[in-house]
A and B are shown apart, each in its own frame.
Chain A
Amino acid sequence: MGKFFAITILVIAILSAIPIVMHTWEAPADISTHGHLIDEQMSETMAEAGISFLAAQLLLAFFIWQFSNRGTETKLKSFPGGAKALVIAALLVVGVEVLALGVFGVKAWADVYLTPPSASAMPIQVQAGQFAFYFRYPGPDGKFGPIHPERINEGSQEFFGLDKEHDVESRDDIVTAEMAVPVNKEIHLLMHAKDVGHSFFVRELRVQQDFVPGLDVSLHFTATKTGRYEIVCTQLCGLGHYNMKAYLEVLSNDDFNEWLKKQAANQ
């Protein structure tokens, strides 16, 4: 019985490792400049955790095989040094592994969040609200007009509560329901939530950012491949969370300028 259990453990461990090693479920192609760091981090984590997992399961299977159905004469070996030594060893092994992953992963995080965007990055404001994302481009004056929350009126498409009558900088702002960016251009996202917590996630861009109400979050990225990608909300925000998404269009420079002109005409 014990030996059968040992074999079962081995089989389950190997079967579950196969799709990971064979890359059966690959992440979609990376279209960002920083994405490869995140993908490498992911591979390293899977490798380290995977090897540790297999080693642990192998050891477990071995001990079960060896010591199941033992008579009373066979004495169990104990960890050299006793229980305290075992705990310290476990802490060291796991601790070092986790620390290593953290240290080597810092660059991936810092590249997106801790390095400032370059001066020529294109700013786009993102507002997440139940249950849609809306975007704002600053227009030719390069400035975002002030937001007046009491003027927000979704029925008349005034999503940001702009006062174009009194605020001059708001007059050329371009508010859209889709986010378009030129390819190979650094984008500086300025993100806030209108109501509750939301999250902005584009798989291919390797960008995921929670919106905490009251916080202004900033991140930057550069998209490297044209195409249409989904922006989905990945933080449960209410009954329409399942339906909350927008589309990201990565366009050539010319196509982007044309798109922006068309959007400006609809303001």
Chain B
Amino acid sequence: MSMKHVIMAGLVTLTASAVALAGPAGGTVSGKVTYEGTPAKMKSIDMSKEPSCAKMYTTPPLVETVVTGSGNSLQDVVVYISAGIPDDAAPSNAAVFTQKGCRYIPHVLAFQVNQEIKIVNEDQTSHNIHPLPKLNREWNKSQPPGTPPISEKYDKAEFIPVKCNVHPWMHGNFAVMKNSHYTITGDGGAFSLANLPPGKYTVTAWQESYGDQSQEVTISGSETKTVNFVFKAKPY
């Protein structure tokens, strides 16, 4: 082996390790979810049939099917990578869905396929949680006050409406995701999906009343690409 070969080998090794040590930084897709038009009025919920919950509110809470925020933003929108990335194994921590004040907190719970979800009852009344999937197995479970959390999981990706069989006004959603690149918008409608390796992706935004929208985006390195979603609000 000549000196030139040794130097070449050394340079190749150094470059390779430099690239490897740079880590999975990847690119980011970020943006905002907003609406145009007039959304339907969110009615207030009358819980008089369940006094133990009704008394927890000074003003009755509002329906959460369309939650708007500052600057015409939409909250509770699930933004995720729907294509272009392989599935991820489920994380070991559980996603928690709480029944409190006869409402579901959070209104939309996003978690991964086969990830454990823990359903907690913090109220003084019994609930009977009934998710309504189309692809996954349907079940409903009674949960008296003071009983331990219910542990469940779903093995197929799906958006699942959730209701309570005892309290008709209770409504929430499960978003079962295939990979770990998902987020839910808050006030302001902003989202950011990071750690994306180079590639072509489909970003999808899902809102329970307005459906979903998708856009394609290509990441080549560690740049941030902006993708915005605008939903047409329906007054009725």
Interface residues of A (CB under 8 A from B): 129-133, 154-157, 159, 163-165, 176-178, 238-240, 243-247, 266-267
Contacts and interface: CB of A to CB of B under 8 A. Distances in A.
Contact of A240 (B40, B45, B161, B165): B165
B168 interface: yes
A154 B169 contact: yes
Contact of B63 (A156, A165, A245): A156
A155 B49 contact: no
A41 B45 CA distance: 41
Nearest to B50: A243
A131 B63 CA distance: 19
B236 interface: yes
A155 B43 contact: no
Contacts of B236: 163-165
Chain B interface size, as a band, is: 20 to 34
Given A155-B171, A239-B128, A178 B166 contact: no
Contacts of A163: 236
Interface in B127-144: 128, 142
22 contacts: A130-B165, A130-B168, A131-B165, A131-B166, A155-B63, A155-B65, A156-B171, A156-B209, A157-B45, A157-B63, A157-B169, A164-B236, A165-B236, A177-B46, A177-B48, A239-B142, A240-B165, A243-B49, A243-B125, A244-B49, A246-B48, A266-B43
Contacts, number: 66
A3 to B, nearest CB: 53
Contacts of A130: 165, 168
Contact of A131 (B48, B65, B142, B168): B168
| Consensus secondary structure, chain B interface | loop
Interface of B: 40, 43-50, 63, 65, 125-126, 128, 142, 161, 163, 165-171, 209, 235-236
A156 B45 CA distance: 9
Contacts of B168: 129-132, 154, 159
A178 B169 CA distance: 14
B48 A178 contact: yes
Nearest to B171: A155
A31 to B, nearest CB: 20
B49 A246 contact: yes
A245 B40 CA distance: 29
Contacts of B40: 156
A129 B167 CA distance: 11
B49 A245 contact: yes
Nearest to B126: A243
A164 to B, nearest CB: 6
Nearest to A154: B168
A177 B161 CA distance: 23
Contact of A178 (B46, B65, B170, B171): B46
A68 B48 CA distance: 62
Contact of A132 (B49, B128, B209): B49
A245 B167 CA distance: 11
A239 B166 contact: yes
Contact of A177 (B49, B63, B128, B235): B49
Nearest to B234: A165
A129 B163 CA distance: 14
